[in-house]
Amino acid sequence: MTPEREEAIREGASHWLVQPRTIRLLWWISGLVLALTIVAQIWITVHAYFSIDSWPGFYAGFGFLSCVAMVLFAKVLGWVLKRPDDYYVEPTQLAPNVLEKNGQRDDV
Amino acid sequence: MFEFAMPPAFILITGALLVAVARPAMRPVIALLAPLMTLYAIWQIPDGVQLTTTFLGYQIELVEGSALRRMFATVFALMAFGGVLFAFRQSKWYELSAAMIYAAGAIGVSFAGDLITLFIFWELMALFSTVVVWCGGTESARAAGIRYAIVHLTGGLILKIGIEGIYVATGSLEIQALTLDSFAAWMIFIGVLINAAAPPISAWLADAYPESSPMGGVFLSAFTTKTSVLALILLFPGQPLLVWIGLFMIFYGIIFALLENDMRRILSYSIVNQVGFMVTAIGIGSELALNGAAAHAFSHIIYKALLFMSAGAVLYQTGVRKCSELGGLFRTMPLTTVCGIIGALAISAFPFTSGFVSKSMISSAAGYEHLEIVWFLLIAASAGVFLHAGIKFPWFVFFQKDSGLRPPEAPWNMRIAMVLFAAACIVIGLFPNLLYGLLPYPVDYEPYTAEHVVTQLQLLLFAGLAFFVLLPLMKRTETISLDVDWIYRRAIPVVAGKIDRGLNTANEDASKRLLGLGTSLMKGLKESSYRYFSSRAPMGHTALWMAAVLALFLVMTLII
């Protein structure tokens, strides 16, 4: 990268990687590669450890579905477990009588 | 050529102490040389017990060599070197020094020939890793460090109870495979698992590590959990319970990392996840599985350090740790981005990276042992690793949106350390025999078959597709997730506070009442004393008082 280009990027010019054209291209290429990994199973025999794992596209489908399941599970768990990120941040706790002496006791 | 004179750990400890007392200009030289000298010493240790000494009346074996032990010590020494290289211009001397003793503790554990030596170095690690956490320098680092120390000292105590129990029962301190048939063995098992961040005590890891300094996190990511993996390989190989503990850790790591916003906390959860793979492998216990656990520990230390380095470089340059405030950094930190991506690919076990050649041994071992459920879960988890660490980390930190941050590239020493570790990830991936040659059992395993590469690519790329399809569901929120640490950070303080305040109020009430009672009694006596004590008081009263005093005397003589 030339220093001028670097300067332009620093000032906010859009990088080639984030231009819509590149992103569209990237989606197409990725799609092609994805298809290719499945098509490759025509020539490459996959030996099964068990039974269904030698089906064409098993790893693709299993990988995709388990990821969807994990994301959804995380989402549901998030409703229960998520708290604002200052949840544990608290002013220093002093003993009640010390707080009273300092005139800071407002919680009781 | 110098003869083997002292345990390798002592070389590193000496180095750490010299760093503390040396002139500032000499510190980097010593700090960089000490791990290399340690590495040399590690490779001079032949198999078998090499050095025994007497400690508190016990015969202890300070150094015992074997292929497995040398392998772990090697990666710990490499890690110490890489960490120092990454940190030496930015860290304070005491952080470097503490990190070096921490590493020395890990190397000491690697060569420990008996349980006492293991325990001593184990505690050394606990103490100095706490110092490294404290070097984060903030109030939250101080508090997290104390919680971290409490967990690890408690774990150490449990381990010590186990060791004493084993000694009393068998009279032997040898490190050998144990079965879970006694209280003492269980104590050792629990003590070791606490350091592995096994459930339910996993929260300490993601609590403490992200509070360290940008440099400290690199050291912390490597030693504690992996010495615990080594201890499990030595003490509990093939313990079936470990399979399920490991699988729990794997999915715990993935799910919590998916929920997390802090970039180094994402990486911390993924340590638990990766250690879960190793723990599962140790539980499977076949030669291939144990080889897999050891190999995975080796490659994991390198790519996880690399990930922590890239996150540390970002944190050092921007001071921002939340994914929701990061993004678009690839523009001005291209080298850090590339190194972070290499680390992310390696952790996801992408073909031609170190993770591929080590992790596949573990899932293959599950397949060969006909553990059907375990195998399917491991495969699902491999996809999940790509999801939570392989894409999520680089995507949210370096790409995502344009956060407007334009930090300059990391300092030169950080860049060199990252490039070295990234190169190591790829070299191990391309030439797996370099790694396989270090393993404890002979390796008859070929990772690069056409079908394996294709199936792995399918798995990972479709996991990647799932990530981008589900991206709207993964929008970062400024939240943390509750974990078991809620019990000791919230529940216990609240309950204890209630009890404390309750007792305080009760105390105040009681003393107020007692004083009031006394006051009114005295007041009554004073105001109406003429009734009892004056000359005008009736005779009967005086007689009564006399009787009362005499009775009191009588009772006292009876008792005393």
Name the one residue in this structure whose structure tokens are 């040898």. B174
Which of B122-126, B305-309, B375-379, B556-560 is predicted least confidently?
B556-560
Check: CB of residue A63 under 8 Å from CB of residue B458: yes
pLDDT range class, residue B475, cuts 50, 70, 90? confident
Count helices and strands (H / E) in chain A: 4, 1
**What is the ipTM, given to two decimal places?**
0.83
Q: B65: which strand partners?
A: B48
Place of tokens 């010493």: B41
Does pLDDT of B28 surpass 70?
yes
Nearest CB neighbour to B255, from listed A34, A70, A95? A70
What digits encode the pLDDT tens for the residues B178-209?
A: 999 999 999 999 999 999 999 888 999 999 99
- Residues 6 or more apart whose Cβ sits within 8 Å of residue B441: B287, B288, B290, B291
Question: For position B147, what pLDDT does the model report?
Answer: 94
pLDDT of residue B3: 47
CA dihedral B47, B49, B50, B52 (to 10 degrees): 170
The stretches of B88-222 forming alpha helices (DSSP H) are 93-111, 115-134, 139-170, 183-195, 203-208, 216-220
Of the candidate ranges B125-134, B161-170, B278-287, B394-403, the one whose mean pLDDT is the lowest: B394-403
Predicted confidence at residue B402, as pLDDT, reads 84
Mean pLDDT of the B104-131 span: 95
Kindly determine whether residue A45 and residue B477, on different chains, have CB atoms separated by under 8 Å: no
Residue B34 contacts residue B25 (beta carbons within 8 Å): no
Distance of CA B295 to the CA centre of its chain: 20
Q: A74 and B258: CB-CB below 8 Å?
A: yes
Q: Which sign does the torsion angle of CA A89, A78, B267, B238 carry?
A: positive
pLDDT of residue A5: 66
Q: What is the pLDDT of residue B493?
A: 87
Please indicate whether, in this complex, the C-beta atoms of A72 and B473 are within 8 angstroms of each other: yes
In percent, the amount of chain B with pLDDT more than 90 equals 74
SS (H, E, C) B495-538: HHHHHHHHHHHHHHHHHHHHHHHHHHHHHHHHHCCHHHHCCCCC
pLDDT at B558 over 80: yes
Q: What percent of chain B has pLDDT over 70?
A: 98
Interface test with A, best of B331, B378, B402 (most A CBs within 10 A): B331
Choose among B360, B68, B48: nearest CA to B227: B68
Question: What are the φ and ψ backbone dihedral angles of B341, each rounded to 5 degrees?
Answer: -65, -40
Give B134→chain A minimum CA distance, Å. 17
B457, A37: Cβ pair inside 8 Å?
yes
Please tell me the distance from the alpha carbon of residue B249 to that of residue B419, in angstroms, as a whole number: 30
pLDDT tens digits for range B420-434: 999 999 999 999 999
Q: Is the pLDDT of residue B463 over 90?
A: yes
Which SS3 state, helix, strand or coil, does residue A83 take?
strand
Residue with the bigger pLDDT between A16 and B325: it is: B325
Q: How many CB atoms lie within 10 A of CB A100?
A: 13
Report how many Cβ contacts below 8 Å link chain A to chain B.
157
Give the nearest chain B residue to A13 (CA atoms): B331
pLDDT tens column, B296-347: 999 999 999 999 999 999 999 999 999 989 988 998 899 999 999 999 999 9
Cα–Cα distances in angstroms (integers) from residue B226 to residues A62, B1, B119, B193, in the given order: 30, 31, 15, 11
Tell me what the mean pLDDT of segment B124-132 comes to: 96
Model confidence band, residue B111 (pLDDT cutoffs 50, 70, 90)? very high
In this prediction, residue B1 carries a pLDDT of 37
pLDDT band at A11 (very low <50, low <70, confident <90, very high): low
* Cα–chain center distance at B486: 18
- A10 has pLDDT over 80: no
Closest residue by Cα to residue B321 from B264, B271, B269: B264
What average pLDDT does this structure show over B12-22?
93
Q: Enter the tokens of residue B179.
A: 């079965």
pLDDT of the residue at B2: 44
pLDDT at A12: 61
- The verdict on a CB contact (< 8 Å) between A37 and B331 is no
Average pLDDT score over chain B: 92
Contact B253, B271 (CB under 8 A): yes
CB atoms within 10 A of CB B157: 13
Residue whose pair of structure tokens reads 């967990």 in the numeric block: B151
- Cβ-nearest to B466 among A45, A58, A68: A68
CB contact under 8 A, B459 and A45: no
Cβ neighbours of residue B174 closer than 8 Å, sequence gap 6 or more: B114, B115
* Top-confidence residue, A49 or B302: B302
Residues in a beta bridge with A80 = none
**What is the pLDDT at residue B559?**
83
Quote the DSSP letter at residue A102.
T
Q: Cβ separation of B451 and A47 shorter than 8 Å? A: yes
| pLDDT score for A23 | 85
User: Encoding tokens for residue B82?
Assistant: 């890489």
Q: Show the tokens assigned to B354.
A: 């170190």
Q: State the smallest CA–CA distance between residue A104 and chain B in angstroms.
A: 15
pLDDT of residue A108: 42
Q: Which range is least confidently modeled, B460-469, B477-486, B523-532?
A: B523-532
Q: Which two tokens stand for residue B421?
A: 């570790």
- Helix residue ranges, H only, B470-491: 485-486
Using pLDDT thresholds of 50, 70 and 90, give the confidence band for residue A99.
low
In contact, B256 and B482? CB cutoff 8 Å: no
CA atoms within 13 A on the CB side of B75: 32
Contacts of A3 in chain B (CB under 8 A): none
The pLDDT value given to residue B507: 94
Q: Give the per-residue pLDDT at A1.
A: 58
When pLDDT is cut at 50, 70 and 90, the band that residue B489 belongs to is: confident
pLDDT digits (tens, 9 = 90+) for B245-268: 999 999 999 999 999 999 999 999
Q: What radius of gyration do chain A's Cα atoms show?
A: 28
CA-based angle B282:B283:B288, to the nearest 5?
50
Q: How confident is the model at residue A54 (pLDDT cuts 50, 70, 90)?
A: confident
Any idea which of A51-65, B23-37, B239-253, B491-505 has the lowest mean pLDDT?
A51-65
Q: Dihedral sign, CA of B412, B414, B418, B420? A: positive
Closest-CA distance of chain A to residue B143, Å: 11
First-to-last alpha carbon distance for chain B, in angstroms, is: 82
Are the C-beta atoms of B428 and B354 separated by less than 8 Å?
yes
Q: Comparing B1 with A41, which gets the higher pLDDT?
A: A41
Residue A107 has pLDDT above 60, yes or no: no
What is the per-residue pLDDT for B237? 94
